Amino acid sequence: MMHGIWQAYWPALLYGLIVDLSCALCRGRGALAGTAAGAFLSIPLFACLYSRNRGKGRREPDGGQGRKAFGLKDGSICIFTGIGLCLAVNTLIRLSPLPRYFTGFSRVSGQLYRPPLLFQAAAMGAVIPAAEELVFRGLGFKVLRQRYSFLGAACLSAAVFGIYHGNVLQAVYGFVMGIVLAWETEKKQTLKAPVLTHMAANLTSVLATAFF
DSSP-derived secondary structure for 42-89:
HHHHHHHHHHHHGGGS---TTTTTTSPP--HHHHHHHHHHHHHHHHHH
Higher pLDDT, 61 or 36: 36
Residue of 164, 123, 116, 132 whose CA lies nearest to 36: 123
What residues have CB less than 8 Å from 99, skipping those under 6 apart? Answer: 93, 105, 106, 169
| DSSP 8-state secondary structure symbol assigned to residue 137 | I
- Please provide the size of the chain in residues: 212
pLDDT digit string (tens) for 148-197?
999 999 999 999 999 999 899 999 999 999 999 999 999 999 999 999 99
Cα end-to-end distance, the chain, whole Å: 46
| DSSP 8-state secondary structure symbol assigned to residue 189 | S
pLDDT digit string (tens) for 39-94?
999 999 999 999 988 766 554 433 444 567 899 999 999 999 999 999 999 999 99
Model pTM?
0.91
| DSSP 8-state secondary structure symbol assigned to residue 15 | H
What long-range pairs does 11-14 form, CB within 8 A, spacing at least 24?
11/46, 11/49, 11/135, 11/139, 11/140, 12/135, 12/136, 12/140, 12/160, 12/164
Which of 26-30, 57-61, 205-209 reaches the highest mean pLDDT? 205-209
Lowest mean pLDDT among 51-60, 126-135, 197-206: 51-60
